[in-house]
Structure 1
Amino acid sequence: MFYIQDGRFSQSLTTHEAILTAATSAHNDVDYGAGVFAFATAGGASLVFEDQVLNNFLANNTFTLIVGIDDITNTITLEKLKELSDLNPNLDVKVFCHSDSGSLFHPKFIWFKIDGEIRLITGSGNLTEKGLRRNREAFTNNYLTHNELRNFEDYWNFWLSENADNLRDLDDEEVVRKAAKNAIKFLRTRKLETELRVDVSEAMGETERETADTENPVAPPEDNQSDVPELIETEDYEAWTIEDNPEVLVAEIPNSSDRWKQANFNQATFESFFGGIAGVNEERRILLRHVGTTGILEELEVRPTISVRSKNYRVELKAAGGLNYPDGDSRPISIFIKIATRSFIYSLVMPEDVIYNEILIYLNNYQPRVGNRMRRYLTDVEELRENCPNLNFWLI
């Protein structure tokens, strides 16, 4: 089957979700698996190998992961892969480290031998958050059985044996050196980008600068801006930035006693905005990241799109954990910005928060309250920014 990963495409399936579905056994007849990716980030590795599906797989079965070191993959990635392999003895991680100056290690595929067949996913996406979820990518999902299965295994083992010298351990001296070089290269790139923005700004006249700032605002560079990549990998951070004019949902959160953090939505919102499919319980995942008051992206929240018999569908919000539901008529308001297919940044605003009245006025103007109904207002980033200029999203 052929799939397109495209956040603007209503039928999009992400590479991440396809991998989780392929790794799920219906009959517990599992043997082993492997994956080969040109580049990897810590966030991409976490998405796949910290998911419960892969944890179940690795509990009793082996998996070989091979990542390239020609670009992107850096010391933070190696640290995460070491952590994952230490936690999962059945996960064997190797780095493809070669000395061919005219050749780039560039494959992207993953496979599982499950229920008597090889499930092979081959595509354009790397083991990064952008490659697995946000980028426009394409991939195929093929099931191989009988003679195809045996031929595939023989071919795979033959490739491994002929490349044994290139398959290095995570702590190999050359691997560590190249990973550090990739990190430095990124730091230098970010510094040059910052310097370029400064040079362009200084070269422009006041009128041109004011026009450009209005049409395409750019945050002024700070002295410590070049330090940011040391804390956040480029691929992972860019997977969560606001680009263009994405969809927005402004939603009042209903009271469900001490379980109100499991925000309820009707089927229409669950399907059209969050990207779930009622009645379909494949390994789809809603990804959420709460944006703190200073614009810091908080811990990734991974939520399965479980279909239930009732007409309500739940999206659990970690930011609501430990908070009491407000007394009286005030309701928490959550704002979701769709970054990619089933991927969202969000802000949970409580009545005592400084920004609450600004959002409430905006919601009242565009969707007045009717009785006790929970309001669900769909809009876009441009309108949201115009009406709520003090939201923490704009500090990212």
Structure 2
Amino acid sequence: MAELLQDADFQLVVGTDSITDTAAVAKLTALEKLRPRLHVKAFLSPVPSLFHPKLAWFEHPGHLSLIVGSGNLTMGGLLSNWEAMIVTKLTGAEATAALHEIQSFITSQSAALLPLSDPTVTARVAVNDGNERTLRLAATRASQPKSPAAVDGDDEVLVAEIPASGGRWKQANFDRDNYENFFGARVGSQRRIVLQSVSVDGDLGDIESRPSVEVSSSNYRFELAAAAGIPYPVAGPPIGTFVRLATGQFIYTLLLPGDAGYADAASFLERRWNGPTREKRRVRATVNDLRQAWPDAPLWDAELPDL
């Protein structure tokens, strides 16, 4: 990229709806100062949807090169999705038409394409701070076949009773506050999170890349593989304990009445919950807080496969 920016201008358009946070904007701003031929604009979508294209185009004297694909620098894109890219070369009328469409988009959306220093951009990307879904895996993975999940004492934890949801409790319902401020979803646009379950015996489940789901009844959901095929218990609600790791991934243990640790988690909720009695109890805390109440939770010793 440094070599390219010595000889040509490069226009970069970044979305602001999910991944791009304050740190990313600061980095891009520094790069613009370092490389005067790099021109970055932030796209503030005029409608509540993701800015999702992965497209690069390069103009040559005799042709237009396009790189198009699905790859995201997100936990889903890096851990669990099938991704692909294609490089194609267009000439003649095809190249002219493709370049016209690209330039038409830039022109038609000029009001939504703002410099990184614009206060509107600053305010919008601040909403994404803490989502931590960007490329930060390499520094947290060892070279062994397995490496610790690196649960830190200050990592945030959500302990939540899961409602029956008419028998479809695999689609776990959460309140809006935790849906947005713990899991990092946003009402009005679909997001994905990456989870892995840790059983009460310490077994690690498959990676789950889950879209956020909103329904008209103001319920906010993520599907949990650990609940598949299990009838909703009659002795008490299931309790999910979720840890948000520094990578942005979530590990969780689903507890049923009678499971080891269920009484500890229920007691933790009893002490910490101060909401209405009619609501399912949901408490956010830190790993250190929950570890005091449930010292032998399988989450503390979970191991993630090396990637």
Q: TM-score range by the shorter chain?
A: 0.5 to 0.7
User: In the TM superposition, what is the alpha-carbon distance from 1:292 to its structure 2 partner?
Assistant: 2.2
Higher relative contact order (CA 8 A, sep 6+): 2
Q: Is the 8 A contact 2:196 2:206 kept in 1?
A: yes
User: In the TM superposition, what is the alpha-carbon distance from 1:349 to its structure 2 partner?
Assistant: 0.3
> Residue type matched to 2:255 in 1?
V
User: In the TM superposition, what is the alpha-carbon distance from 1:46 to its structure 2 partner?
Assistant: 4.8
User: In the TM superposition, what is the alpha-carbon distance from 1:293 to its structure 2 partner?
Assistant: 2.7
Q: Is the 8 A contact 2:192 2:211 kept in 1?
A: yes
Q: 1:383 to 1:265 in 2, by over 3 A?
A: same
1:298 aligns with 2:205: yes
Q: Render the CA deviation track for 1:161-218: whole Å, top value 9, x for unaligned.
A: xxxxxxxxxxxxxxxxxxxxxxxx94xxxxxxxxxxxxxxxxxxxxxxxxxxxxxxxx
Which of 139, 146, 156 aligns to 1:247? It is 156
Alignment of structure 1 residues 286-365 onto 2, 5 Å: 286-328=193-235, 330-340=236-246, 343-365=249-271
Q: Render the CA deviation track for 1:149-169: whole Å, top value 9, x for unaligned.
A: xxxxxxxxxxxxxxxxxxxxx
Tell me, in whole angstroms, the C-alpha distance in 1 between the residues paired with 2:287 and 2:67: 44
Q: Secondary structure at the match of 1:335?
A: strand
**Counterpart residue number, 1:33:** 68
**Counterpart residue number, 1:70:** none
Q: Secondary structure at the match of 2:270?
A: helix
Q: Is the 8 A contact 1:336 1:346 kept in 2?
A: yes
Unmatched segments (≥5 aa) in structure 2:
1-12, 26-49, 56-65, 88-97, 106-131, 303-307
Q: 1:3 to 1:252 in 2, by over 3 A?
A: same
Tell me, in whole angstroms, the C-alpha distance in 1 between the residues paired with 2:159 and 2:238: 11
Q: Render the CA deviation track for 1:124-157: whole Å, top value 9, x for unaligned.
A: xxxxxx99444599xxxxxxxxxxxxxxxxxxxx
Number of aligned residue pairs: give it. Answer: 216
Tell me, in whole angstroms, the C-alpha distance in 1 between the residues paired with 2:219 and 2:169: 13
Alignment of structure 1 residues 254-265 onto 2, 5 Å: 254-265=163-174
> Residue type matched to 1:309 in 2?
S
The percentage of aligned residue pairs carrying the same residue is 31
**Counterpart residue number, 2:80:** 47
1:63 aligns with 2:106: no
Q: Is the 8 A contact 1:289 1:344 kept in 2?
A: yes
**Counterpart residue number, 1:124:** none
User: In the TM superposition, what is the alpha-carbon distance from 1:23 to its structure 2 partner?
Assistant: 4.5
1:274 aligns with 2:180: no
User: In the TM superposition, what is the alpha-carbon distance from 1:44 to its structure 2 partner?
Assistant: 6.3
Q: Secondary structure at the match of 1:389?
A: coil
User: In the TM superposition, what is the alpha-carbon distance from 1:276 to its structure 2 partner?
Assistant: 0.8
Tell me, in whole angstroms, the C-alpha distance in 1 between the residues paired with 2:232 and 2:100: 47
RMSD of aligned residue pairs (Cα, Å): 4.4
Q: Secondary structure at the match of 2:230?
A: coil
Tell me, in whole angstroms, the C-alpha distance in 2 between the residues paired with 1:365 and 1:334: 17
Q: 1:44 to 1:251 in 2, by over 3 A?
A: same
Q: 1:333 to 1:114 in 2, by over 3 A?
A: farther
Q: 1:34 to 1:364 in 2, by over 3 A?
A: closer
Tell me, in whole angstroms, the C-alpha distance in 2 between the residues paired with 1:115 and 1:256: 50
User: In the TM superposition, what is the alpha-carbon distance from 1:20 to its structure 2 partner?
Assistant: 8.9
Tell me, in whole angstroms, the C-alpha distance in 2 between the residues paired with 1:298 and 1:114: 46
Q: Secondary structure at the match of 1:374?
A: coil
Alignment of structure 1 residues 148-187 onto 2, 5 Å: 186=143
**Counterpart residue number, 2:118:** none
Q: 1:360 to 1:244 in 2, by over 3 A?
A: closer
Q: Is the 8 A contact 1:133 1:340 kept in 2?
A: no
**Counterpart residue number, 1:394:** 300
Q: 1:276 to 1:45 in 2, by over 3 A?
A: closer
Q: Render the CA deviation track for 1:237-281: whole Å, top value 9, x for unaligned.
A: 56x431351111110000123311111112222111111111123
Tell me, in whole angstroms, the C-alpha distance in 2 between the residues paired with 1:267 and 1:336: 16
Tell me, in whole angstroms, the C-alpha distance in 1 between the residues paired with 2:79 and 2:246: 18
Q: Is the 8 A contact 1:247 1:380 kept in 2?
A: yes
More helix by share: 1
Q: 1:352 to 1:32 in 2, by over 3 A?
A: same
> Residue type matched to 2:178 in 1?
T
Q: Secondary structure at the match of 1:21?
A: coil
User: In the TM superposition, what is the alpha-carbon distance from 1:353 to its structure 2 partner?
Assistant: 0.5
TM-score when normalising by structure 2 = 0.57
> Residue type matched to 1:291 in 2?
V
